[in-house]
Amino acid sequence: MADRTRENRRRDEDDVRIRPTRNGSRPRSKQRPAHAEATDATVVTVDRGRYTVLADTESDGEDVLVTAMRARELGRKGIAVGDRVSVIGDLSGAPDALARIVRLSERRTVLRRSADDSDPFERVVVANADQLMIVTALAEPGPRFGLIDRCVVAALTAGMEPVLCLTKSDLAGPAATLARYEQLELPHVVLQRGSDLAELRARLAGSVSVFVGHSGVGKSTLINALVPDAHRATGLVSAIGKGRHTSSSAVALRLPDRSGWVIDTPGIRSFGLAHVGADDMLWAFPDLEDGAARCPPGCEHLHAAAGCRLDEWVVQGNSTAERLDAFRRLLSSRGSADEAHGGDDQ
Ligand SMILES: Nc1nc2c(ncn2[C@@H]2O[C@H](COP(=O)(O)OP(=O)(O)O)[C@@H](O)[C@H]2O)c(=O)[nH]1
Ligand SMILES: [Mg+2]
Ligand SMILES: [Zn+2]
């Protein structure tokens, strides 16, 4: 698994020509001499051409959030939450202060999604994140495996590590859910409201972690426990507030001890995978990968009748019918908007 993720990360880096640097410090940039006096910062929100950034400046005081616009010289380059940028201008954070983003650093990782599975237009959800915390309640509402599978694919394709974050363990145990993902060897944490967060905190330290999960799984409850100042609305309040926050798809929050970042994704219910190929999809199904290698060239893996050897592979005990079904559902949902919005995430 670790090897798979690394290999995957390398692929992604090749694709987007990323030069990784330690701890997310700024990579070299051709444009640097133009604004030698600029301050490095992290983008924490994006709202219609207006950005909130947090400068790297070391201080013991409160974090000062700065509102910024993009400089014209950046052209049409997209800026996402998690991006490392350089800013100039008024960094005081005063009510009318406006800074300017003059540089965008190369990205270590890029988490993307399509609006639905048939939408060829992919959006960048978050840049430079290390792990995807797939928040799943063990009950009320119970796990939706299709959604977990999607998140795993999205994370691996992004060069991020997927982590199962299982909540509400006071209502049901994790054994069945963990068994389903056994062969993936996903790291996992099991939590309930009020439980000791030491293990989770250790996992988050030194990393940028994106939290995803559908409504009601306890994601806001968890983020509030980690970042009390964040005041993420929970339960009914969040349902009422939903309409007013349609533009915010991700918000980066620094952990109080500054050991890392958590990124909440309130507007994201699932990951459209129109931009992900069948081969990439196999990353999330290592139990099927060797079986797929026996298929005829160009196999679409949908039917044994078309020559696919995966059914045979399952019969031989290498994986389960459930897993093969999950893989095929993800495969066939691409290109079909109906399925993307329909029962696929059950
Ligand atoms: N039984 C139980 N309920 C929880 C737990 N965590 C959160 N909840 C409840 O689940 C509901 C949804 O929580 P919320 O954090 O708003 O979920 P979100 O929609 O994922 O942000 C709220 O009523 C919470 O009080 C837990 O560990 N156990
Ligand atoms: Mg919430
Ligand atoms: Zn096949």
Confidence of residue 27 (pLDDT cuts 50, 70, 90): low
Spatial separation of the C-alpha atoms in residues 82 and 261, rounded to whole Å = 9
pTM above 0.85, yes or no: no
- Compute, in angstroms, the gap from residue 137 CA to the centroid of ligand 1: 9
Residue identifier of the C-alpha nearest atom 28 of ligand 1: 168
Neighbours of 280 (CB within 10 A): 16
266 lines ligand 1 (CB under 6 A): no
Is pLDDT larger for residue 8 or for residue 323? Answer: 323
For the CA of 195, the nearest atom of ligand 1: 27
List the residue whose alpha carbon is closest to atom 8 of ligand 1: 218
Ligand 1 and 219: CB distance under 6 A? yes
Q: Which of 147, 214, 234, 269 to mutate to test the pocket of ligand 1 (most atoms within 8 A of CB)?
A: 234
Cis peptide upstream of residue 187 (ω within 30 degrees of 0): no
3-state class (DSSP) for residue 271: coil
pLDDT at position 76, please? Answer: 82
Alpha carbon nearest to ligand 1 atom 12, residue: 216
Ligand 2 center from residue 200 Cα (angstroms): 18
Answer yes or no: is the C-beta of 171 below 6 A from any ligand 1 atom: yes
Task: Find the 241 Cα to ligand 2 centroid distance in Å.
Answer: 10
In DSSP terms, 123 is beta-bridged to: 113
Smallest-distance ligand from the CA of 214: 1
Given a contact cutoff of 8 angstroms between Cβ atoms, the answer to whether 145 and 184 are in contact is no
Write the residue with the smallest CA distance to atom 10 of ligand 1: 218
Ligand 1 neighbour 218 (Cβ under 6 A)? yes
Dump pLDDT digits (tens) for 99-137: 999 999 999 999 998 877 777 778 899 999 999 999 999
Buried b (16+ CB within 10 A) or exposed e, 188-209: bbbbeeeeeeeebbebbeebbb
Is the pLDDT at 344 greater than 50? The verdict is no
> Which residues on neighbouring strands pair with residue 261, listed in sequence order?
208, 254
C-beta 137 within 6 A of ligand 1: no
Please give the distance, rounded to the nearest whole angstrom, from the Cα atom of residue 188 to the centre of ligand 3. Answer: 30
Per DSSP, the residues of 273-334 read -TT--HHHHGGG-HHHHHHHTTSPTT--SS-GGGT--HHHHHHTTSS-HHHHHHHHHHHHHT
* Atom of ligand 1 lying closest to residue 169 CA: 27
Question: In angstroms, rounded to a whole number, what is the distance separating the alpha carbons of residues 344 and 322?
Answer: 14
Closest CA to 200 of 156, 166, 175, 177: 166
What's the pLDDT tens digit per position in 256-284?
999 999 999 987 878 888 888 888 888 88
Q: pLDDT tens digits, residue range 213-261?
A: 999 999 999 999 999 988 777 775 554 444 444 445 799 999 999 999 9
Q: Which residues pair with 164 in a beta bridge?
A: 134, 188
Model confidence at 41: pLDDT above 90: yes
Ligand 1 touching residue 195 (CB < 6 A): no
Residue 163: per-residue pLDDT: 97
What are the residues whose beta carbons fall under 8 Å from the beta carbon of 49, sequence distance 6 or more?
69, 70
Question: Is the per-residue pLDDT at 300 higher than 50?
Answer: yes
Distance 303 CA to ligand 3 centre (A): 7
Distance 156 CA to ligand 1 centre (A): 27
Token pair 């219910």 in the structure block, residue:
269
